Amino acid sequence: MLIKTIFLLFFALSSLPAAPIEKSPFPRPDIVIYNTTDSVTCRNIIRSIQSLHYSQKELDDSMSSKILTKYINTLDISKHFFTKNDIKNFEQIRYKIDNSLLKGDLAHGYIIFNLFLKRSFERFVYIITVLEDWEQKLNFTKNENISLTSEGKPWPKNKNELTRLWKKELKNNILNLKFQKKDNKEISKILKKRYWNRLKRLCKINSKDAFRIYMNAVTTSFDPHSQYFSQSVSDNFDIQMSLSLEGIGVVLQNEFEYTKVVRIIPKGPADKTKKLNPGDKIIGVGQNIKEEIQDIVGWRIDEVVKLIRGPKNTFVRLKIIPANKKGNHDPQIIIIKRDIIKLEEQAAQKKIVEISANKHTYKIGIIHIPTFYRDFKALQNGKKDYKSTTQDVLTILKELKQENINGLIIDLRNNSGGALKEANQLTGLFIKSGPTVQIKSRSGRIAQLNDPDPTIAYNGPLIVMINRMSASASEIFAGAIKDYNRGLIIGTQSFGKGTVQILKTLSRGKLKLTNAKFYRVSGRSTQHQGILPDIEYPYIYNKKVTGESSLKDALLWDMSKQAYFKPYKNFSSILKILKEKHIKRKKQSIGLKYLSERYQLALKTYELKKLSLNEKKRKKQIHSFDKIKINIKNKLLISKELKPINNIKDIDADKIEDDFLLKETEFIMVDFIELIKNKNYHW
């Protein structure tokens, strides 16, 4: 009866007639149907959310509406599959999903998913058919555009509007390949292969995929960090958490038809290349140096992971669309040597620089901390000398003190967090004693982590560097240093992840749920807002697409009770002077101007709403952006007395390794040291 109901509802919702199966030369996806195991797992997920999730939001009509919107956007964010009439039909179930989920009834989700499969099939068939003689059918002199965002756009009225969108998609892909210097024969071959492969993969989609996607629309409606992992995704998650993966050291996720880089694991193979960034989209993967790069657009995440993963000392080539680009006319190819990501390579590292100013030479110690690590296995085995961030930094501090450093910079840029206890203990190296972070459970109970040891490992001038990718444990440490007035925070607004997740094993897969929230000792949450620097630097990462505030349904910033703690003397009397000196240098610094101009161009590119499908106009559009990029780079090259470039392909040929932000931080540290000499600062 259930199967019959799904079939009837599915075809009732579909406004497009199905092509006769026996006459179609194309493989067709099966209709997906849920089973008893899916229903049981669904009920377990819902019960877990209701009893464990921090927000304590009810699964009511309001949440039902949110889940439907989230699910539709997950399947069709670009508005290329569903019509206005489909959306009207979906409205009939907008306030019924909650009651269905409580009973383990997945019919609503599967009906929509089956319609999505049907439209995806029709889209691929249409595009493959047009590709047979696209040179005659498609006109690249027409003045038309392809929209790069669906925000504010109405849903297509009917099938004719859908096919117009599909045609524009194809024209855009053809133009992208034309500007990669591919001839028409190559373009046909590449795109036919791409869309046939995507059609074949569409036909492999099964009930488990539908269940995972639907359940994640449910969990992420409560907050973006609550997720359901199917068994295959769960296995990959376990490997990632163990850090024993032989691969390239990246965390990936599906974003519509693309594979997106979410995080770069510090000191991993990808991190060492300095060419891959969070937000980049991987569109192709090739093995070794010369093998053909496979188009992976539309692939499942587990299939992409299998392709990228491989034995140590072998090479993988990635074709990527950088995060700051719209369209894919100019993808980049990155070669990465696979390796095992070792804990030792993620260890804190030090260096000393000497800066001369006002007839003095100052020694500045710099400690780079890629992650907050702790060798839990060694700790469980009773080893006293287990490897950890705090132990390593303590050793480094002793060495730096012997070198008589005048100031210390702790670099937490791109540090996405790690062991919470390490953030607590590391803070303890710089303060006398007291609380370092507060953790609020869903019941409202507040627990504190404290530094009970009055010993201070370093009591000199301190600066902590952060950026948009500094998250979680990094924000706890930086927030404590800021609240205690123990040091200056310099950089950009941090990520803003101020929540705690637990992992629950289900009969099939795992469930990650947000069950607590972090608060600084001042009572301010790190959630959403992150840590705001005392002195702000130019952004490197687009904060509109990175950070907690860019995530839909992220828990909001709020405050809790202030903990009892004794801050040191604040820096208000000298901070204004430090800012003035920084601004003066910034105006004269070619390096900082370069970073600022590059970021502004990335923002401009990101904010593009449309691309021309007129070949001449598109070429002009691309040339205009390339000219700006070359101009920005040449200002920097000329300042370094290096040869300027003329071709966009040479944009990365002359790598300039200077860390302009770290260099400026060193200058700020010297100003800091000189300003506090007679200001009675003691730590």
Question: Beta strands of 82-188 (E only): which ranges?
Answer: 145-147
d(CA 112, CA 289): 42
Q: State yes or no: pLDDT of 240 exceeds 70.
A: no
DSSP character for 14? -
Asked if 494 and 561 sit in the same domain, the reply is: yes
Q: How confident is the model at residue 435 (pLDDT cuts 50, 70, 90)?
A: very high
Question: In whole angstroms, how large is the CA radius of gyration of the chain?
Answer: 27
Q: State yes or no: pLDDT of 192 exceeds 80.
A: yes
Cα–Cα separations (whole angstroms), residue 429 to 360, 432, 451, 482: 28, 8, 9, 15
The catalytic site residues sit at 472, 483, 497
d(CA 533, CA 379): 35
d(CA 151, CA 113): 22
d(CA 235, CA 245): 12
Q: Residue 340: its pLDDT value, please? A: 79
Q: What is the mean pLDDT of the chain?
A: 89
At residue 451's C-alpha, the angle toward residues 446 and 454, to 5°, is 145
Structural domain for 394, as ranges: 344-570
Does residue 349 belong to any structural domain of this protein? yes
Flag the least confident range among 5-9, 355-359, 519-523, 541-545: 5-9
Asked if 496 and 555 sit in the same domain, the reply is: yes
Q: Residue 233: its pLDDT value, please? A: 61
Asked if 419 and 565 sit in the same domain, the reply is: yes
The 10s digit of each residue's pLDDT in 278-295 is: 888 999 999 988 888 888
- Work out the number of other CB atoms within 10 angstroms of the CB of residue 593: 18
Number of compact structural domains in the chain: 3
Asked if 421 and 551 sit in the same domain, the reply is: yes
Asked if 178 and 259 sit in the same domain, the reply is: no
Q: State yes or no: pLDDT of 243 exceeds 50.
A: no
Q: Residue 239: its pLDDT value, please? A: 45
Q: Contact 369/389 with Cβ under 8 angstroms?
A: yes
Q: Residue 490: its pLDDT value, please? A: 98
Query: What's 465's domain CATH number?
Result: 3.90.226.10
The 10s digit of each residue's pLDDT in 312-364 is: 889 999 999 887 666 666 788 899 999 877 666 778 999 999 999 988 999 99
At residue 415's C-alpha, the angle toward residues 409 and 417, to 5°, is 120
DSSP H or E segment with residue 51: helix 36-52
Percent of the chain with pLDDT strictly greater than 90? 67
Rounded to two decimals, what is the model's pTM? 0.88
The 10s digit of each residue's pLDDT in 93-151 is: 999 999 999 999 999 999 999 999 999 999 999 999 999 999 999 999 999 999 988 88
The residues, ordered by sequence, that sit 6+ positions from 547 with a Cβ below 8 Å of its Cβ are: 468, 493, 494, 495, 496, 530, 541
Give the mean pLDDT of 360-385: 87
d(CA 467, CA 450): 26
To 10 degrees, what angle do helices 159-178 and 615-639 make?
A: 40
| DSSP string for 310-346 | --TT-EEEEEEE-TT-SSSSS-EEEEEE-EE--TGGG
Among 540, 570, 600, the domain-final residue is 570
Q: What single letter denotes the amino acid at residue 294?
A: Q
Query: What's 253's domain CATH number?
Result: 2.30.42.10
- Where helices occur in 268-323 by DSSP H, the ranges are 269-273, 301-308
Q: Contact 170/178 with Cβ under 8 angstroms?
A: no
Q: Contact 34/210 with Cβ under 8 angstroms?
A: yes
DSSP H or E segment with residue 536: strand 535-536
With b for 16 or more beta-carbon neighbours within 10 A and e for fewer, the 605-623 pattern comes to bbeeeebbbbbebbeebbe
**Furthest CA-CA distance within the chain:** 89
Q: Residue 286: its pLDDT value, please? A: 92
Q: State yes or no: pLDDT of 407 exceeds 50.
A: yes
Structure tokens at 283: 């569109």
Q: Residue 77: its pLDDT value, please? A: 92
- Work out the number of other CB atoms within 10 angstroms of the CB of residue 450: 16
The 10s digit of each residue's pLDDT in 544-557 is: 889 999 999 999 99
More confidently predicted of 519 and 231: 519
With b for 16 or more beta-carbon neighbours within 10 A and e for fewer, the 180-210 pattern comes to eebeeeebbebbeebbebbbebbbebebbbb
Asked if 266 and 415 sit in the same domain, the reply is: no
The residues, ordered by sequence, that sit 6+ positions from 473 with a Cβ below 8 Å of its Cβ are: 372, 415, 417, 418, 419, 420, 422, 423
Q: State yes or no: pLDDT of 10 exceeds 50.
A: no
Asked if 179 and 249 sit in the same domain, the reply is: no
Asked if 437 and 559 sit in the same domain, the reply is: yes
DSSP character for 81? S
Asked if 174 and 257 sit in the same domain, the reply is: no
Flag the least confident range among 217-221, 230-234, 537-541, 606-610: 230-234
Among 299, 318, 340, the domain-final residue is 340
Does residue 79 belong to any structural domain of this protein? yes
Q: State yes or no: pLDDT of 7 exceeds 50.
A: no
Q: Residue 327: its pLDDT value, please? A: 61
Residues linked to residue 260 through DSSP beta bridges, in sequence order? 253, 281
Asked if 168 and 273 sit in the same domain, the reply is: no
Q: Contact 315/337 with Cβ under 8 angstroms?
A: yes
Asked if 111 and 136 sit in the same domain, the reply is: yes
Does residue 233 belong to any structural domain of this protein? no
Among 313, 340, 367, the domain-final residue is 340
Q: How confident is the model at residue 1 (pLDDT cuts 50, 70, 90)?
A: very low
Q: How confident is the model at residue 238 (pLDDT cuts 50, 70, 90)?
A: very low
Q: State yes or no: pLDDT of 256 exceeds 60.
A: yes
d(CA 601, CA 607): 10
DSSP H or E segment with residue 516: strand 510-519
Q: How confident is the model at residue 434 (pLDDT cuts 50, 70, 90)?
A: very high
